[in-house]
A and B are shown apart, each in its own frame.
Chain A
């Protein structure tokens, strides 16, 4: 019995940790101008590449900018990209998924095959190819990542819609002559939303990861705008003299992704207990 209790205590602990980490990131993003000790763009060539000190808790970079401040401001990019990308993916995916489930037949088959195929592409590859055409900056990164997320959400939305469609109340609504769009809005949508939220949490993590990878490759946020990815990229060049330039933004990135992952796992446990062990 105590083993059972320990296990669920641990689960709750992990969810709490996830919430705490996510809160830290989001709050950093929102309140950056007030929390950060310096502006992320303030140069001070006199103190470049200095390790952690009283004035600069996490050291300075190659242009003398405060690493702590830049790390905090970088959260803004990650949160913005994640929100936008998941928003695009969620909206597009839900529409396509619900459409496929509701129409059935050929429409369903074609749409779902397409989604499946898009899903098997390596995400970075698709993002890079899209951005070749769109242009390589943060906005286009958001768009590209959002597009990449559509198949995942579509598949989920379709599954939820299909099971909801089998419920009685859709039959009842149809029998009293409710229009199709009304059925979708009033009866189907609420049941589809819950599992999508779980998926969204995990998608946030992946969006942050993707954006950082793109910035790392020089394709996302461009310097001097701070993003964990491009900070890691610059840090690469100074690994011997200033390892903190790699460790700090990387840790922030790791904690952010970890937080969203824990959040997603925790939500999944809470909302769908029969999916777990």
Chain B
């Protein structure tokens, strides 16, 4: 077991570095853009040169990256071009909000996907399957920001049941916090559930067609035992591995949803960064979100490995 976890961790670290390189390159894809953006269209060439010099932007990229990386590893993600405030503490402050949104949406998505996907597989080609598959197709086509808008229209404006935005930290007022998080989490979670539902349905179908399920039936086990004791765990393993791809979509959605509901998370910080052309802010927040996604991927992958005896205890030689 330790070996499994360690291998996953060992792969994780270089992936993080590679990701940071990619982000750094992406943001510097067009040279000189940082200065021009910060200073505006009518900046004089001298002003640009001064800006670049004072911010160290005129050195080779590799050097810039190394310096940035060095600082980042010590927890320093630079200071905002705009207001000269350090970036890292701001990100840290916003972290709980983003995590709360992501976790709630994730839980909701799975709460929908797992039972419905399994049900669809069990009633393959029956009415339930058709209905559920159609639902998945429709949900998968709805843009999360449109769903959010519609939900606000109905539940905030018309029914006046839920707030249209704003955020109170959980520990200040749990009830208000959760009420504020309902619409954001539902917008994100419902749309995420579509892909996960399809994945669950597919893996469950494969499992239900395998020989060991036939054995379970041949032992005279009733359907609910076949499902719970034999099918579920085996279906969960590939579900987790394949479904991990949804994290990327989920956190992409976080950026938009935080904007709509005015949630002070890292996602909205990304937007602040791009709108103000504040490169350290943008780079810092994009990096942190990417780290979270990669970390979540690694967690899920490891968990799937732990569930699978074939990965946990590989067959020893000489049996």
Additional pairs, 14, CB under 8 Å, beyond known A3-B125, A132-B273: A129-B23, A129-B27, A129-B283, A129-B286, A132-B282, A133-B27, A209-B143, A212-B145, A232-B149, A247-B150, A250-B150, A254-B142, A261-B137, A261-B141
* Nearest-neighbor residue (CB-CB) of A120 within chain B: B248
Contact B279 A217 (CB under 8 A): no
B252: which A residues are within 8 A, CB to CB?
122-125, 213
Interface on B for A, CB 8 Å cutoff? 15, 18-19, 22-23, 26-30, 33, 37, 124-126, 130, 137-138, 140-143, 145-146, 149-150, 152-153, 157, 202, 205, 245, 247-253, 255-256, 259-260, 270-271, 273-275, 277, 279, 282-283, 286, 289-290, 293-294, 297
A218: which B residues are within 8 A, CB to CB?
275
Q: Which of B18, B28, B125, B146 contacts A133 (CB 8 A)?
A: B28
For chain A, the count of residues having a C-beta within 8 Å of the partner chain is 51
A5 to chain B, nearest CB (A): 11
A10 to B129, CA, bound (A): 12
A113: which B residues are within 8 A, CB to CB?
18
Q: Which 7 A-B pairs have the closest CB atoms?
A: A122-B252, A250-B146, A258-B141, A124-B252, A133-B29, A257-B141, A133-B30
Contact B274 A232 (CB under 8 A): no
Q: Which of B125, B146, B157, B251 contacts A239 (CB 8 A)?
A: B157
Contact A120 B294 (CB under 8 A): yes
A128 to B138, CA, bound (A): 27
Interface string of A50-90 (1 = CB under 8 A from B): 00000000000000000000000000000000000000000
Contact A132 B27 (CB under 8 A): yes
A94: which B residues are within 8 A, CB to CB?
none
10 sample A-B contacts, Cβ–Cβ < 8 Å, listed by A number: A117-B19, A121-B293, A128-B274, A129-B23, A132-B277, A235-B149, A239-B149, A239-B153, A250-B150, A277-B205
A240: which B residues are within 8 A, CB to CB?
157
Q: Is A164 interfacial (CB-CB < 8 Å)? A: no
Contact A217 B256 (CB under 8 A): yes
* Nearest-neighbor residue (CB-CB) of A219 within chain B: B274
A122: which B residues are within 8 A, CB to CB?
248-252, 255, 289-290, 293
Contact B293 A130 (CB under 8 A): no
Contact A134 B30 (CB under 8 A): yes
Contact B152 A239 (CB under 8 A): yes
Q: Is A28 interfacial (CB-CB < 8 Å)? A: no
